[in-house]
């Protein structure tokens, strides 16, 4: 069968020949996406021109090509959108029965499922995330959120007994660029289910799936003004926050902007929820199934290029497991495929923007300067676009910036611990408190740890798991308020007289 010569020198064991595993390119076609050259603002059920005529481009971070030109909403447009939302609320939506509201939400959910490939491709084009993630995570979860909250719309009095739950009114909702459509779903589904109307502002680098969602909202025949989608950057967001007609502000993004929003709304009596940054500890004990933990750690930090508020960016390893875990992590890092987000084999896509790439680069440099050891596998990056090689740091101390600050990129800081108490101490030594992971074989240890970790979500022997029925949110500088589950309805309801 083979032409291999029989070895004559039996003293030298033959090296196993591992063929370099070449993947053929497996690009997802972009033909399903119909981009307009220019998008208006979605106000009162139709696309309208911005008052000032301002526009800005949105690019593909993988190619730096301009995908479309988008409108920039100024204060006048924000006002127009808030008025549209107000009149839709007062004249229609508020008094519609829960069962009727549910029908619209179910319709949106089903259309998202029907058009999911189109949405997934567009999400990867505009934001740079791998198609396998937008296809298998973002889209199914976005639809699931609408399905889930549709189910609550006619059951609010059972969710909140002994009170008459009433909507808050107009919600101003500002979302980030890391999960553009999914964050829109997290914001819109509970707000609409509870009888509120919305003015939604997507992030400036990733407006396109929100604008496609505007088309879905038309297709689902939602009453005009129930959902308004206005594009723009920080100034547009700030104008929405400052508008007195927005009864409630929901924000997901950086802690800095969250603090600014909290100051702007303080004392106004308007509702606020903030979902901000994180610096989660992923904690691996020596009794954990190490191979599974390796996968969980990799997924925890390299999923979505690490642009994840609940990313497991600090790995805390039990000392006896350190050498084995580190070897396996390094080996696994070398197998991650970095590149074209639209290739179905890609694990790590493009960094969302040049600004984010610079921020990651700056923090990584600080890690090297402060004395941590950097490891990057050999990795070829495309010539154009924004890319960062998956990176590990060992020798990290708790005072290093890479152990304290949110990098929001594919960079893992590794530290060790000797006892469970020390693990808890180190994990909680952060201004954030969004999520944590614990890897161990012992159920009792999981519960012991979960009781002590100051984090909104604690995953056990898994990481980055989401379900619309499960509340998500933070402690401390990670923000306040919960999204998901029954908890996620509360910020959108007046529950006066609640016992
Ligand atoms: P950002 O907080 O500026 O952007 C989030 C959203 O807020 C965008 O829609 C933006 O247009 C809007 N915005 C900006 N300034 C505003 C203001 N003054 N008033 C109202 N809305 C405003 O986040 P950025 O600058 O894009 O990212 C910086 C860092 O923030 C990242 O490196 C990461 O560490 C963190 N971040 C955390 C996110 C999370 O999910 N928790 C999401 C995005 C960023
Ligand atoms: Mg873009």
3-class DSSP assignment, residue 148: helix
22 is catalytic: no
The band of 497, judged by pLDDT with boundaries at 50, 70 and 90, is: confident
CA angle 422, 423, 427 (to 5 degrees): 120
Q: Where are the alpha helices (DSSP H) in 128-198?
A: 131-133, 139-153, 156-159, 180-193
289 and 272 in a common domain:
no
Do both 396 and 459 map to the same domain?
A: yes
Which residues, at least 6 apart from 169, have a Cβ–Cβ distance to it below 8 Å?
86, 89, 196, 197, 247, 248
Is the model's pLDDT at 241 over the cut of 70? Answer: yes
Number of H-type helices and E-type strands within the chain = 16, 20
Compute the residue count for the chain: 499
Q: Is 238 in the pocket of ligand 1 (CB under 6 A)?
A: yes
Answer for the pair 270, 491: CB distance below 8 angstroms, yes or no. no
Average pLDDT estimate for 189-213: 98
Side-chain-side CA neighbours of residue 121 (13 Å)? 13
In a domain? residue 27: no
Neighbours of 452 (CB within 10 A): 17
Residue whose CA lies nearest to ligand 1 atom number 6: 176
Contact between 385 and 348 under an 8 Å Cβ cutoff? The reply is no
Cβ proximity of 202 and 234 under 8 Å: no
Closest CA to 283 of 400, 138, 455, 152: 455
Contact assessment for residue 138 and residue 178, using Cβ atoms and an 8 Å cutoff: no
20 is a domain residue: no
The residue-averaged pLDDT of 152-159 equals 96
The answer as to whether 9 is a domain residue is no
Distance CA 317, CA 47 (A): 52
Question: Same domain, yes or no, for 456 and 485?
Answer: no
Ligand 1 atom closest to Cα of residue 409: 32
CATH of residue 82:
3.40.605.10
| Mean pLDDT within 130-141 | 98
409: confidence class by pLDDT, cuts 50, 70, 90: very high
* Catalytic annotation present for 309: yes
Contacts of 19 (CB under 8 A, 6+ apart): none
Beta carbons of 328 and 290 less than 8 angstroms apart: yes
Q: Is the CB of 258 under 6 A from ligand 1?
A: no
Residue 216 shares a structural domain with residue 340: no
Is the predicted pLDDT of residue 11 greater than 80, yes or no?
no
Q: Is residue 5 pLDDT above 70, yes or no?
A: no
Q: For residue 199, give the 3-state DSSP assignment.
A: strand
Distance CA 211, CA 47 (A): 9
Q: Which of 318, 252, 253, 255 is nearest to 281 (CA)?
A: 318
Q: Which domain holds residue 385?
A: 281-468
Give yes or no: residues 264 and 341 share one domain: no
Minimum CA distance residue for ligand 1 atom 38: 253
Q: Is residue 328 part of a domain?
A: yes
Decide if 42 is inside a domain: yes
Are 234 and 347 members of one domain?
no
Question: Residue 192 phi/psi, 5° resolution?
Answer: -70, -40
Q: How much is the pLDDT for 16?
A: 61
Of the ligands numbered here, which is closest to the C-alpha atom of 250? 1
Cβ 455 vs Cβ 433: under 8 Å: yes
Residues with Cβ within 8 Å of residue 101, at least 6 apart in sequence: 93, 153, 154, 192, 193, 195
Question: In this model, does residue 6 exceed pLDDT 60?
Answer: no
Residues 248 and 353 in one domain: no
Do residues 245 and 341 share a domain? no
For residue 24, being part of any structural domain is answered with no
User: In this structure, is residue 417 part of a structural domain?
Assistant: yes
Is ligand 1 within 6 A of the CB of residue 276?
Answer: yes
Atom 42, ligand 1: residue with shortest CA distance: 253
Do 267 and 285 fall into the same domain? no
* Contact between residue 291 and residue 322 where contact means Cβ atoms under 8 Å apart: no
Ligand nearest to C-alpha 357: 1
**Residue 109 sits in the same domain as residue 173:** yes
Do 295 and 309 fall into the same domain? yes
CA geometry: angle at 58 spanning 265 and 105, to 5°? 60
Q: Which ligand is nearest to the CA of 230?
A: 1
Q: Does pLDDT of 288 surpass 90?
A: yes
| CATH at 361 | 3.40.309.10
Please tell me whether the overall predicted TM-score, pTM, comes out greater than 0.75 for this model.
yes
CB 200 near ligand 1, within 6 Å: no
Rounded CA separation 176/237 (Å): 11
The alpha carbon of 177 and the centre of ligand 2 are apart by a number of angstroms equal to 9
pLDDT over threshold 70, residue 152: yes
Q: Average of pLDDT values for 57-64? A: 98
What is the 279 CA–ligand 2 centroid distance (Å)? 25
Question: Per the structure, how many domains does the chain have?
Answer: 2
- Tens-digit pLDDT profile for residues 351-395: 999 999 999 999 999 999 999 999 999 999 999 999 999 999 999
Among the listed residues 118, 123, 133, 275, the single catalytic one is: 275
| pLDDT of 266 strictly over 60 | yes
Output the furthest CA–CA distance in the chain (Å, rounded). 91
Q: What is the CA radius of gyration of the chain?
A: 24
- How does pLDDT run across 73-113, given as a tens digit for each residue? 999 999 999 999 999 999 999 999 999 999 999 999 999 99
Question: Quick one: 261 and 394 in the same domain?
Answer: no
Instruction: Report the pLDDT value the prediction gives residue 1, as an integer from 0 to 100.
Output: 43
Residue 8's pLDDT band (boundaries 50, 70, 90)?
Answer: low
Q: How far is CA 190 from CA 148, 244, 289, 363, in A?
A: 9, 22, 38, 36
Strand-pair partners of 391: 411
Strand segments (E) across 49-90? 55-59, 66-71
């Amino acid at each position: 069968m083979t032409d291999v010569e029989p070895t004559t020198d039996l003293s030298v064991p033959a090296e196993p020949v591992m063929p370099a595993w070449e993947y053929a390119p497996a690009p997802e076609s972009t033909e399903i996406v119909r981009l307009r050259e220019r998008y208006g603002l979605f106000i009162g059920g139709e696309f309208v021109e911005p008052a000032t005529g301002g526009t800005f481009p949105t690019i593909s971070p993988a190619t730096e090509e301009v995908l479309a030109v988008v409108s920039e909403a100024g204060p006048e447009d924000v006002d127009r959108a808030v008025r549209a939302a107000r009149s839709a609320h007062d004249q229609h939506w508020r008094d519609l029965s829960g069962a009727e509201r549910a029908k619209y939400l179910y319709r949106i959910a089903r259309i998202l499922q029907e058009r999911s490939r189109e949405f997934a491709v567009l999400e990867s084009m505009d934001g740079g995330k791998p198609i396998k993630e937008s296809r298998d995570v973002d889209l199914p979860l976005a639809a699931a959120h609408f399905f889930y909250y549709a189910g609550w719309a006619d059951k609010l009095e059972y969710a909140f007994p002994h009170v008459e739950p009433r909507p808050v009114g107009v919600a101003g909702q500002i979302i980030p660029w890391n999960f553009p459509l999914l964050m829109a779903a997290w914001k819109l589904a509970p707000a609409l289910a509870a009888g509120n109307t919305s003015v939604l502002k997507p992030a400036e680098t990733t407006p396109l799936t929100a604008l496609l969602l505007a088309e879905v909202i038309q297709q689902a025949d939602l009453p005009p003004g129930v959902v308004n989608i206005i594009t723009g950057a920080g100034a547009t967001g700030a104008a929405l926050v400052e508008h007195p007609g927005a009864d409630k502000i929901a924000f997901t993004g950086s802690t800095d902007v969250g603090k600014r929003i909290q100051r702007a709304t303080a004392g106004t009596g308007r509702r606020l929820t903030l979902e901000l940054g994180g610096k989660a500890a992923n904690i691996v004990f020596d009794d954990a199934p190490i191979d599974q933990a390796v996968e969980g750690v990799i997924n925890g930090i390299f999923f979505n290029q690490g642009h994840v508020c609940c990313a497991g960016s600090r790995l805390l390893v039990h000392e006896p497991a350190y050498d084995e875990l580190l070897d396996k992590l390094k080996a696994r890092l070398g197998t991650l495929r970095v590149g074209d987000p639209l290739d179905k084999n890609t694990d790590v896509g493009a960094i969302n923007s040049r600004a984010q790439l610079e921020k990651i680069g700056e923090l990584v440099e600080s890690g090297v300067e402060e004395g941590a050891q950097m490891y990057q596998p050999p990795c070829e990056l495309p010539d154009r676009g924004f890319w960062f090689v998956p990176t590990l740091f060992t020798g990290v101390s708790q005072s290093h910036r890479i152990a304290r600050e949110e990098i929001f990129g594919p960079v893992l800081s590794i530290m060790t611990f000797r006892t469970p108490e020390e693990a808890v101490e180190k994990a909680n030594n952060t201004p954030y408190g969004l999520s944590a992971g614990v890897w161990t074989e012992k159920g009792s240890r999981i519960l012991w740890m979960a009781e002590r970790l100051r984090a909104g979500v604690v995953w056990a022997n898994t990481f980055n798991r989401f379900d619309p029925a499960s509340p998500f949110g933070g402690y401390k500088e990670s923000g306040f308020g919960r999204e998901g589950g029954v908890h996620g309805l509360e910020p959108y309801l007046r529950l006066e007289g609640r016992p």
